[in-house]
Amino acid sequence: MAVTVRRPKLNWSERLYLPAIAGGMAITMRHFKNMLLGRTKVTMQYPEERWDAHMPEYYRGAPALVKDASGRERCVACQLCEFICPPRAIRITAGELPSTDRFAKVEKYPYEFDIDMLRCIYCGMCEEVCPEQAIFLRKDYAITGFTRKEMVHDKEKLLEIGGVMHGLVLKWNEKK
């Protein structure tokens, strides 16, 4: 059943729309005056100006792998980040350390570690689940590439952008 909604009757001044137009122009002129006097900033001139200094502490950017102070990979290829990733953006292929290696107790290392940045939703679950604190979300928000292949970050690229993280690394701890 259709319901007819009646429009309100407008008087002659409301039909002219002049009060509404004048109110809108008053707001526009107030903003223009504030911009000329430097009270408000209209746009940020990107890339000359960036939000880096104003990023909140809780901002989650792109994930990256880190190394310890000795230059060794922190990742033990436990694949928890791969299993927890909701869009399945992380792919890890584990490799085994030789039994003659000093750190053979670790058993595995990431032979391949790929993150598809086009699929990543920057949720931070990979960072939370990592037992070795090997993956971190950086404060970077400008993640670009010309092709889809460039947006799949491999292990070398992730380690390059991640850098070095100082502190206790359980993987290389002799007492573990």
Name the token pair of 113. Answer: 């570690």
At 137-168, the pLDDT tens digits run: 988 888 889 999 999 999 999 999 988 887 66
Question: Mean pLDDT for the chain?
Answer: 86
Comparison of pLDDT for 44 and 31, the residue scoring more:
31
pLDDT at position 84 is 95
In a 10 Å sphere around its CB, with 0-12 CB exposed, 13-18 middle and 19+ buried, how is residue 139 labelled? middle
Rg (CA), the chain: 27
Residue 128: closest CA among 33, 69, 60: 60
Going by CATH, does the domain composed of 54-172 fall within 3.30.2290.10?
no
**DSSP string for residues in 57-93:** TT----EEE-B-TTS-B------HHHHH-TT--EEEE
Question: Is 70 exceeded by the pLDDT of residue 176?
Answer: no
Mean pLDDT, residues 10-37 taken together: 89
pTM for this model (two decimals): 0.68
Question: Is 60 exceeded by the pLDDT of residue 11?
Answer: yes
Tell me how far apart the terminal alpha carbons of the chain are, to the nearest angstrom. Answer: 74
At 102-130, the pLDDT tens digits run: 767 767 889 999 999 999 999 999 999 99
